[in-house]
Structure 1
Amino acid sequence: MGKQRVSLNDMKVAIEAVKILKVPNDSTIVEISPGVGFLTHALLHSTNARKIIALENDKKYVNELSTLVKESDGRLEILNIDVYKWDTYDHIKSHLSHIKIHPWEEVHPNLISLIHLPNTSRGEISINKLLSNCYNKSGLHSFGRSRMNFFAPEKAAEKILAKEGELQRHKLKIELEAIADIEVLKIFPEKAFYPNIQCALFGVTPLVEPRLQGSWLTFEFVIKTLMSRKNAKVIEMLSTLGAGANTIAKDLSFDLNMPVRNMTAENYSELSIIFDKWPFKPDYIDDIYIPPPKHKKRW
Structure 2
Amino acid sequence: MRDDRPISNPNRTIEIMKQYDIKMKKSLGQNFLVEPQILSKMVDVSQVNEKSTVIEIGPGIGALTEFLAQKAKKVLAFEIDQRFVDILATTLSPYDNVEVFHQDILKVDWTAEEFSFLQAEEDLVVVANLPYYITTPIIMNLIESQLPFKRLTMLMQKEVAERMTAQVGTKAYNSLTIAIHYQMDAKISFIVPKSVFIPKPNVDSAVLILERRQHPRVEIDNINTFQAFVQAAFTQRRKTIWNNLRHYYTSANQEIELADQFIEAEIDPQRRSETLSIEEFAHLYKIITK
Q: Where on the TM-score scale, by shorter chain, does this alignment land: which range? A: 0.7 to 0.9
Whether 1:235 and 2:235 are equivalent positions in the alignment is no
Superposed, which structure 2 residues align to 1:56-95 within 5 Å? Answer: 56-73=79-96, 75-85=97-107, 88-91=109-112, 94-95=114-115
Whether 1:33 and 2:46 are equivalent positions in the alignment is no
Whether 1:100 and 2:120 are equivalent positions in the alignment is yes
Measure, in 2, the Cα distance between the counterparts of 1:117 and 1:78: 17
Measure, in 2, the Cα distance between the counterparts of 1:33 and 1:268: 35
CA 158–3 in structure 1, closer or farther in 2 if over 3 Å, else same: farther
Tell me which of 141, 158, 162 is aligned to 1:129: 141
Q: What displacement does 1:201 show?
A: 0.9
User: Which residue of the partner structure matches residue 163 of structure 1?
Assistant: 167
Q: Secondary structure at the match of 1:203?
A: strand
The total of aligned residue pairs comes to 251
TM normalised by structure 1 equals: 0.74
Tell me which of 9, 20, 27 is aligned to 2:33: 9
TM normalised by structure 2 equals: 0.76
Superposed, which structure 2 residues align to 1:219-258 within 5 Å? Answer: 219-243=226-250, 244-245=254-255, 246-247=258-259, 248-258=261-271
Q: What displacement does 1:50 show?
A: 1.0
Residue identity over aligned pairs, in percent, reads 22
Q: What displacement does 1:81 show?
A: 1.4
CA 209–114 in structure 1, closer or farther in 2 if over 3 Å, else same: same
Letter in 2 for 1:113: V
Superposed, which structure 2 residues align to 1:168-207 within 5 Å? Answer: 168-189=172-193, 198-207=204-213
Measure, in 2, the Cα distance between the counterparts of 1:7 and 1:35: 9
Q: What displacement does 1:202 show?
A: 1.4
Measure, in 1, the Cα distance between the counterparts of 2:274 and 2:233: 9
Measure, in 2, the Cα distance between the counterparts of 1:161 and 1:2: 29
Q: What displacement does 1:185 show?
A: 1.5
User: Which residue of the partner structure matches residue 269 of structure 1?
Assistant: 282
Q: What displacement does 1:3 show?
A: 5.4
Letter in 1 for 2:47: K
Measure, in 1, the Cα distance between the counterparts of 2:212 and 2:64: 23
List alignment gaps of at least 5 residues for structure 2: 1-23, 195-201
Q: What displacement does 1:157 show?
A: 2.5
Largest Rg, 1 or 2: 2
Q: What displacement does 1:259 show?
A: 1.0
Note if contact 1:117-1:123 (Cα within 8 Å) is conserved in structure 2.
yes
Q: Secondary structure at the match of 1:229?
A: coil
Cα root mean square deviation, aligned: 2.6
Q: Secondary structure at the match of 2:191?
A: strand
CA 3–12 in structure 1, closer or farther in 2 if over 3 Å, else same: farther
Tell me which of 112, 117, 142 is aligned to 2:125: 112
CA 261–6 in structure 1, closer or farther in 2 if over 3 Å, else same: farther
CA 266–33 in structure 1, closer or farther in 2 if over 3 Å, else same: farther
Measure, in 1, the Cα distance between the counterparts of 2:170 and 2:176: 14
User: Which residue of the partner structure matches residue 21 of structure 1?
Assistant: 46
Runs of 4+ with deviation above 6 angstroms: none
Whether 1:216 and 2:223 are equivalent positions in the alignment is yes
List alignment gaps of at least 5 residues for structure 1: 102-108, 191-195, 278-299
Higher helix share: 2
Note if contact 2:54-2:76 (Cα within 8 Å) is conserved in structure 1.
yes
Q: What displacement does 1:160 show?
A: 2.4
Note if contact 2:185-2:212 (Cα within 8 Å) is conserved in structure 1.
yes
User: Which residue of the partner structure matches residue 285 of structure 1?
Assistant: none
